Amino acid sequence: MNVVSDQDIKREKILEASYQRFLHYGYSKTTMNEIAADLSLSKALLYYYFPDKSQLYIAVMRKLTCDYFKSLEEGASNFNTLRDAVIYQVNNQHEFMLKNYNFFDFFRLNEQNLPEPIWDIIAEVQQAEMLFLTRAIKSEIAKGEIKPIADPESVVDVLLDALHGIRVSAASQKKIRFPQKDQLDEIHNKRLLLADIFIAGLTR
- Interface residues with a copy of itself (CB under 8 A) are 112, 119, 154-155, 157-158, 160-166, 168-170, 175, 190, 193-194, 196-202
Residue 198 contacts residue 161 (beta carbons within 8 Å): no
Q: Nearer Cβ to a copy of itself, position 32 or 160?
A: 160
Counted residue by residue, the chain has a size of 204
Q: Nearer Cβ to a copy of itself, position 15 or 163?
A: 163
How many Å apart are CA 53 and CA 60, to the nearest integer?
10
Q: Nearer Cβ to a copy of itself, position 15 or 179?
A: 179
- In the complex, minimum distance from the CB of residue 23 to a copy of itself, in angstroms, rounded to a whole number: 26
**H or E element in which residue 118 lies:** helix 116-143
How many Å apart are CA 11 and CA 18, to the nearest integer?
11
- In the complex, minimum distance from the CB of residue 108 to a copy of itself, in angstroms, rounded to a whole number: 15
* CB neighbour list of residue 148: distance below 8 Å, 6 or more residues apart: 141
What is the separation of C-alpha 128 from the centre of its chain, rounded to a whole number of angstroms? 10
- In the complex, minimum distance from the CB of residue 112 to a copy of itself, in angstroms, rounded to a whole number: 6
- In the complex, minimum distance from the CB of residue 21 to a copy of itself, in angstroms, rounded to a whole number: 29
Which amino acid, residue 34?
A: E
DSSP state letters, 43-75: HHHHHHH-SSHHHHHHHHHHHHHHHHHHHHHHH
Q: Nearer Cβ to a copy of itself, position 22 or 104?
A: 104
- In the complex, minimum distance from the CB of residue 198 to a copy of itself, in angstroms, rounded to a whole number: 6
Q: Nearer Cβ to a copy of itself, position 74 or 111?
A: 111
